[in-house]
Structures are given as C-alpha cells and as structure tokens.
Amino acid sequence: MSPILDQTRTNEIFHYNLLFSKYGKKDILYGTAGFRTNANQLDHVMFRMGILAVLYANYTKKVAGIMITASHNPECDNGVKIIGNNGEMLEENWESYATILANCKDEEIVNSIDMIMSDFIIRLGNSLVYLAHDTRKSCPVLLEACILGINAMGGKYQNYGLLTTPQLHFMVYTANSDSDISYYPAERDYFDKLKTAFFNFSQDCPDPPYRILVGVDTANGVGALKMERLQILLRENIKYLEFTVVNMGLNGNATGDIGYIKHGRTTNSNNHTLNDEIENNNEMGTIQSTQSGLNLNCGADYVKVNMKPPTGLSSVHDFRKESPFFEDQNVHYASFDGDADRIVFYYFDKNHEFNLLDGDKIAALIAYYIKDTLKICELAPNDFDLGVVQTAYANGSSTLYIRDNLNMKVYFTPTGVKHLHHKAAQLDVGIYFEANGHGTVLYSKKFVQKIAELSKDGTKSSKINTSARNMMNFINLTNQSVGDALSDLLLVEAILLKYGWNITHWNSMYQDLPNRLMKIKINDRTLVKTSPDETICLSPPALQEAIDSLVSRYPKGRAFLRPSGTEDVVRIYAEAESQEKADDLAHSISVLAFDMAAGVGDRPLRPSK
C-alpha cells in the first residue's frame, strides 16, 4: 500500500490508469507550453495531468487550470497546459514533476504521486480545477481522460468547454485574486472587461477621419467564436471601427453566453460542466463541427514564419467592395493562432507589397504610448522601473529603437514566455512580446495606484487627469496573466485611435532588418544544445563554427538556431541587410543543421518570397 495515499485512492488510481496504456508511447518533456505531441499519444498524459492539477491545487490551496490545446501546431497534434494559481504558467519547479508523472511506468504511478506529495508536503483536501479546450476533434476524449485523473484524486472540476487559452488564464486569475468572489468567473466577465475598457478609452480619443476596417484571421480555431462575440459587443458603441472575421473554421455562431454560476448550484455530483446549469449556451456544442484546416496556411505562426498573408482573405476584399469608404490606408489585418494567445498584424502598401508587424512592433508601439503618457502626466523617468523584455528572436532594429529613441531599458531572456513573464513581473511596467506575437504588459501595484490617484487628482490639469484615466483604461484592457490575442488586438487599435495613426504610420516607427525564420525536422531535438541565451550552439560539435563562418559573409548578418521545446524541430533565425540575403543565410544554416543534426525528410528548400 502507498505510504501516503489511502487504499481507496490507490485502488482508483490503478484502476483508471489501466485504461491508458503507455506501451509504445514516446517519452515527452513538459516545457514552456506544456506537453505537445500527436493527439493519439496523449490520453495517458492527460489522465496524469488531471492528477497533477489536483496535487498542485491542494498545494497552493487555490484553483488550478487545465487547458487542452496544441496552440499553433497542426490539427493532428494536441497538448495540455496547467495554469498556475495566479493565472500564469505552471511554476517552473513543478515542470520536472509533470515530466516524471507523465513518463513513469504504470506500476510506478502511485510511488510518483507519493514522491510529489512528500516533496511538497501535500495533504489531500478540497481542490478545484478549471477545464477548457480548443476546437480540435481530439479534445473530448482527452478531456475525459483529464476528468478521470481529477476524479481518481478526489478533486472537483468546472468544465468551461470551448475557450481560448487566455480566457482560461483569466478565469483562474479572477477566481484566485478575489477572496470575496461569490460566483464562478464567466465569459461574460471577460468580455465585459474588454468592452468597457475599450469603450472608455475610445471616448477620450478624437474621431478618426475615416472608418477603419480590420480583417481578423482566426486560424480556423476557437478564436473565431470569441472574435465574433467581441465584434458584436463593440459594434454597439464603436461606429468607426469595423472587424470582419475570416478563417473561422466553425459552424454555428458565437452569440451564446456563459452566465454566472453561484456556488452550491451543482448536481449531486461534485463535478459538473457549466453547460449543465446555463441556458442559451450554444458555444459548448460546436466541438463536433470543427472543419479541417486549423492553422493550415493561416494563423499567426504561418504568417510570421512565411512572411506572407494567410489564405482566406478574399472575404475581406469582398467586404471592401460592398463598402467603398474603406480605402487602402484604413484597412489592415491581424492573425491569431489556434488558441488565440498570439497575434501579428500586416497590411498591403500602395505597391501591393505585404508588410508584417510582429511582436517586436507591438512592443515598440505599446512602449511609445506608455512613455508618452508618463511624460504628459509629468512623472519623472526614474519614478518607475520601465522596461521591454525580448528574446534573441527580436529584430535588432526594434532593440535599438526602444533603447535609443524611447530611452527605455531592454532586457533579454531565453525563448519562452515563462522567462519573459518572470522578468517583466520584476518591473513597475514590464512589456514583453516574443517576435511571434505572444506577449502582454505587467503593471506593479505601485504604478497602478499612482496612475489611479492622478486620474482623480483635482489639483492637476485636465490634460493630466485625462491621460491618467486613459492609462487606467489601458491597464484594464490588458490581460496581465498571459499573452491574449483579443486583448492585444484592442490594445493596438486603442493606441492607433488615440494618435490618429493608420498602420503605415505605426510601421514607420523604425525599419526592421530583413529577417527569415525557418524550421527543420530532426530525429531528436535533445541532441541540439545551446547557451542559456540560446544564441550559441554548443552541440552538435562544429555547428556553431560553421554558422559563424556563414554569418561573417553577410553585411549586418546575425543568426542563431535552437531546438524547439515541444517538437523534434530546430528553429533558425537570420537577419541581414536585404531580404534576399537574409533568406540565403537562413537557408544555408538550415542545410547545415539538417546535415549535422540528423535532419528528417527532404532537405530544406530556399524560402520563397
């Protein structure tokens, strides 16, 4: 018998575990984005992550979350991500335990649970786990596996059904940050917060000289439902900003509402789905209507990596034909990824050339607005610790602009939002965005309190009061728990409205160094090792020397590679003085990596324009 778990619990764990044979499955590692792999390899992992979430919830004595999604990965993949008690990612010291529990032999599972309970001094009691998933067809089966894991540990759960990843982060953050909360957080809370903050911010902005059209590519994912819902809410009050959604990939509509659930209104079971209690919720049943094409030739990752627009924009052009007041200067586009935690922007200039504005440009725009607002509010530069957090993937021009033009500090961390988020949380205002479009802004209590005081200070000028009030609305518009495509979309549109800028004005803040991002499949990503900042390849031997030799041939050349944290691929980034040379450099390094790191499949092709 287990030395910690009682006999009943031990028997249940062994009983349920027999349903999920690990035989023939490949060991996987819990990384920044949780587990990601082919969906048919994950049922045993999902069961065990249900167990882990209960352990974590008992340890923190707060709500934990489980999000089932593979984000920007192909539809055949899936994954699981555990959300920590502050609405952020799972604490780093728990990641290794997640890996151990996921990969231990069937007969060792109870001993592994005992080890975790012993190391963290956990005693089982009341615990609650929030569940949600994206639109992948594999989600219902994997969700059931999670629930069995929760049940085996005697935990309770709330199933929110279809949510974006940032929405579930918001639910967990809200539940754990308000000790007086008398209802389970609901989608209505999330949308009301965004709608109110954006409307209040826009009230202090001048009306633009033209109507603005934003085409939003939702990657045929769950973001389609949520973007449609947001579009409807904003249309009630915002008459000069129009969104049109493309690459929806879903049937049905997004007008259903998940309302408030009072504590105690449950069935006889300790566990229930929110849909059990709510009428008029037509979001929950759409999972079976998912069409193929999730992230296929569309979405933020596709646009960023290929530096070209997604398929499916024809409906935006049709919309423009019906609405001739939308001219090139006031039309731009945005792409989410499959679970709507990434966003990139783009437009076509007068020469019909594609122009991408990625996470670096978003960070620079937000930094400009915040720095400008603090100046108007007559706050000294050293009153607060402001900074932008980047990774090696950040375009070199963005770093120079933020440092030299905005006079703001720039910090660098390894790739992975957990590293950026941790550093940003140490600042009074920490702006972080990966170049792929995943990011947000974090504000200290000290900063928020000062801005709130200025917004109401009758001894200050109306200009200061208004700027501080705008900043408070901007803070409320921000999802501080994680990168959020819907929130970040509105943050950008709010700033453009404030300054009366179109997207070409934003893009002219600085000129990106031409760059190219590529990836190649390899047999085993663990064979590729890099320095802590991921800019130097340590293994395989001689690969970095070969990369340095290539880079030296290109003016303004910079390049590095790193193994993915979730897939057996190597990612290559290259910059140079022209796009042609950046493409050549990236391709040459990808061929090197393919040859020296056991590439799989066909040799890499030079990227097309």
Residue 199 corresponds to which tokens in the numbers above? Answer: 């409307």
Within 10 Å of residue 574's Cβ, how many Cβ atoms?
A: 29
E strand map for 349-408: 354-357, 386-390
Strand order in the sheet with 354-357: 241-246, 212-217, 331-336, 343-348, 354-357
Which residues on adjacent β-strands are paired with residue 321? none
Paired tokens of 439 = 């990011």
Cβ neighbours of residue 543 closer than 8 Å, sequence gap 6 or more: 537, 592, 593, 596, 597
What are the CA-CA distances from residue 462 to residues 270, 296, 456 (Å)?
Answer: 53, 50, 10
Instruction: Give the C-alpha separation, 302 to 298, whole Å.
Output: 6
SS3 345: strand
Q: Taking the CA of residue 360 as centre, how many other CA atoms within 13 Å lie in the half-sphere pointing to its CB?
A: 25
Query: What is the SS3 assignment for 101?
Result: helix
HEC readout, 185-234:
CCHHHHHHHHHHHHHHHHHCCCCCCCCEEEEEECCCCCHHHHHHHHHHHH
Q: How many CB atoms lie within 10 A of CB 321?
A: 8
Residue keyed to tokens 């974590």: 56
Nearest alpha-carbon partner for 355 in 553, 514, 547: 514
Where do the H-state alpha helices sit in 409-527? 417-424, 445-456, 462-477, 485-499, 503-507
Helix, strand, coil percentages, rounded to 5, for the chain: 40, 20, 40
Query: Which tokens sit at 478?
Result: 């921000």
Annotated catalytic sites, by residue? 71
Alpha helices in 282-330 (DSSP H): 300-306, 314-322
For residue 109, what are the contacts with CB-CB under 8 A and spacing of at least 6? 13, 14, 17, 48, 101
* Helical (H) or strand (E) element with 521: strand 515-521
Structure tokens at 379: 């706050």
